[in-house]
Structure 1
């Protein structure tokens, strides 16, 4: 008998329908009878998703800490995981709260529809979870973040002031910028008139209006033209990576192609003092529009003829301010109320007139005379009528000199030291501190604390420029020139600057000089045989990477040196040694090449040795420097050391090597590193990186440290201007309960960051009620074994009231992604948080309250009178800000954005905040 399946075409169709029907039937039966097994499979997949999500979150946090931007597809994956976790949580609640499947009391009959739906939903969710697991693995196997694009905007130190008298100049400059025929533009004018600030405004507006794709700036200056330096500055803005580091022609050709292929580019040469050899720098003379591809060059110079010599056909002059504009700016700088307090406003106007309409001087003089008496103003006017320096207008010089004369001695010396740095240099305050201590220790007895304060004074006086990085400052070229002139003329400081070629120039001031800055422009300078600088205690030798053998009687000339700073010096001789300088106390190598030297290079009686960004021998060997008190090694990578080199420094008190050190054959052996450090029995200050902390058991040296910046498995803080002296960062560290070394460092620190670490702050608090008395900044991330930060009874706090109270100095508190944390503090501890200014809690799903009130009878309101920022996000279980222990597991949670009108129910009237706490973001 022939069936339907035997009919051609139709038979295949019938077979497919039959297979699909049978498959659907068995799938449905599996949903119906195996739903519990399917739910278990789902739970297993969700656990795997959570593990994968934790790994991605940790990697994302690490990338964010490095300043990178997380890729969009990673953020989408994390959002999908969050939605999956929420959906699985709701499914679990539905499964756990399902009603008994009994229709009759005596005859249990399962509800097939409900069973079927649960089984099917479990399978679908498990399938989605599996897909997320697989895609999560793919994410971890590839890059999940990228460095943010640079904004390519100027870092102006002050807002641009649109003076009416300069609108026409700006408009003319802008028209030439957007026109096709003007390839090279120029701005010229007196020093301090505002050329650089107008250039920066042109730069910013051109980028905002997308006139150019990129802007590259190079600071030329009046020193010897350094082609390699200019090429590096241009390449840095264009993200161009040179294949050669010293071949000018090859680099110029590469820059030329970069300019041609990079679209429209504005190339800025600031502070031009001579004709610029464009062919040597960028590989093209920029003379034809066909080669420029719409790109342009903008010059700033003090002289019109220099603009013309650099092929700028129509340079634009910036003139001084009109009298009324200068007076308005002067009033803003001094303060109208202070001018009104003078018996005669005419005196203030005469002082303003002496500033010659130059914005830089108006601001500097105005700030110098703030809060001063009438007699000081009279004296200032007389000083402004004097003064002269070659290359600078006498009025300009007098104005700057007045501002310098009004400084305190420490601030004045700090400015003089800053003026010795190369033109347009980024002055690293960490280096300035060492320079101040070493070169003028008798005048700055405590440079470590004085220098940052003096930098702040000078910045507020408009004598130093503000920079975005807190450890960097800069100096305007006019201020630098006048400060140098004043420093070289003042016998109190006896500072001398000498620029020389291969022969040491004659100068009558060598014998009385105390600090000599020697700028060498040629290889192997020869020092005179019969010259002894008896008073010279400090020498700064800058060689611009020239090879030096120190021919002649170098050691005889500088026999009394106590401080020596060698910058950009290239040593070729292994036999060369500085040991004849037996009075030398501080030695600094800055950007030097000492690869060809050995340990005989270092003088035996040094007290301070600094090695910054140098090319080092591998391994680095240090002699037995028995008098060495401070060793500061600032390198990008861990330094390869000779075993025993560190431990031999028996008198060492300060050891700063932020990126750590290792050994040639045992790079990962932390035990050897700890063994070296443990022998430094006099150590009181330590900055270091450790790859792990497993071998620190029994290291007693950690208990006696007075200052430390220790990072484990992560980059450290290394904050130059921070007033915090005890800081620790722990990432992915497994800590034993008996590990008292880490506990000692954590409980005494002023700044603590723990990430994916099982350090239990609560147990530290319980074992030592005086712990965290100095803590000011605390960040906890991805710590999943922490239920709370601290719980101390009111009685215990009262007992310690006469001492320092735990967390009483806490200013910033950040908690992120701690899955098991239920609250932060008990109420008795929260009452001590009077200094708290920032509180951020994010993604802690188990947190029910912020502050747990263990005493229901305690109705005292907690006053956070200094809190400025309150940020609570993704706290899905949060019921109240402050609540009793018995109430923590009751109540409901509103998972919506909380508006200001809803604040009161959350806070229950148990806390109060300052009226200035306006930046509250609460998402629960």
Structure 2
């Protein structure tokens, strides 16, 4: 108990005695306090001079000084003036410091000197500013790309999804993907602006990756946005500097625009932990959906195209057709906006190029769009195809050819994977292949690449099947590229091929005709460069007067009676010269009454032979001579087959599809087919057999 009493007494002594000692110092240590005051004043003035020099240097660089720096300088100046006055008071009352007897004046001045000394020490310690200055920004330049931004319904949806993800603590990597020119950059610029205004993040940084990322350049962009100077020379050293700087922010948003492939964020200074602990979030934009997966994005958001009303509203803003009173111009303008198919960059570029032009210019532009010819856009306003062409340029050569094949179909056509596979094999898109199954896989990978690059789109037909579609302007781009690269494609929609003048197809790489009224072609075909001939009609077709001898380079031929697959009503008459197509590798005849098909045995390079929905007498015995044939499609062939044993003679066949249209209730069977005693089709990998 006595020990407790002693302890309490000691504490009481501390509280009572220590203040008395401090007060006594004010009376008996005056010279010491005055010396300390002068020393700290000198140190603070030296620090102030250093800060002033930094301010002058920053201003020469047109940097904007942070408010905290300006405030420090102002308060330091005020403090130094107060210290100067205090020194004058001490000098004026010098007699108070000479005698041994303490006075109230001495006590008061000493106490004030101690307090001012402490304040000067505090200001000196605050001179290590976290951020000293930043690059000056001209009014409006930071968000210039979003000028005139309109949040359409499609944009609102993507915007809302991004904003929701930014507020979700469990999501730290967000991807916005869509077709080139669909407005991704503009949208994330608006998100960036909103993020800064809402104070959701302490700092928002936006950089551009581009097609071939330059790590050093990206690091420089980030440093500029952070008002931070990179001292290191190596990319690794700069990444470490940026990493340490980013760690100073509690919450930071980094927008990486125009990402084309996988790259390691750690290379530029953003590590995995920063994202996981919630201090950093990433938004990236890309044209390629696969990038979203490669970059481990948890939220993948598609930016859709504009609907017709939105497209018209955007077009009017840039073309200003309402400023001209002509009703006919308004009608043409709406047709042009419709032809742009909802792609913002195309709408803007075409609209700007036509602004203030006469109705004659507008009509010519509409005709160019409708006839798949690019509309020229003036320099400075961008080319309607320049952004889209980047996606094409990024493809491998074989995928570029596959892309061009897609362009032989009309606008809004539902393209089947199987058509692309059979055409691709015929053209040798991927060169030689070990097996047809491998070639099929390679082409499917190529299709996925095109979809991933937004050059193709998955689509669902009204009947429910999954197909592919190509945006009309992307298709026009392909036709334009084909003409520039010496692979011109002619897509005939409105004329009988016999009425097309001589020489028109001489230099064509591909000719496709979709004119349903075509029933006879007597043209003498002379086209050494032609590799694809695709004709679709609405009935019988007479080619008996045509000559194929000038088509020695033809590799793919498709003759289709369209949806009228009644082979008893659609006659196809072929000329004897069809046997001269010795380079033909894919032949597809669909829905025809053929009769004798012995001509096929002369086509020694055939790899794909399709006779779907056709009626013919029998398979020729010599079909075994087609020793390169990999795929034979006899699906839904009527009155099949008097000589089906010949199929067993095909030594290289890998895919076989056989069914009898005269027995629609037939059963599907999966066991290995039997085509006679001399079966040599040992490479068969895929087959469908449908008999009764």
Task: With the length of structure 2 as denominator, give the TM-score of the two structures.
Answer: 0.37
Higher-helix-fraction structure: 2
Task: With the length of structure 1 as denominator, give the TM-score of the two structures.
Answer: 0.28
Q: 1 or 2 for the larger relative contact order (CA 8 Å, sep ≥6)?
A: 2
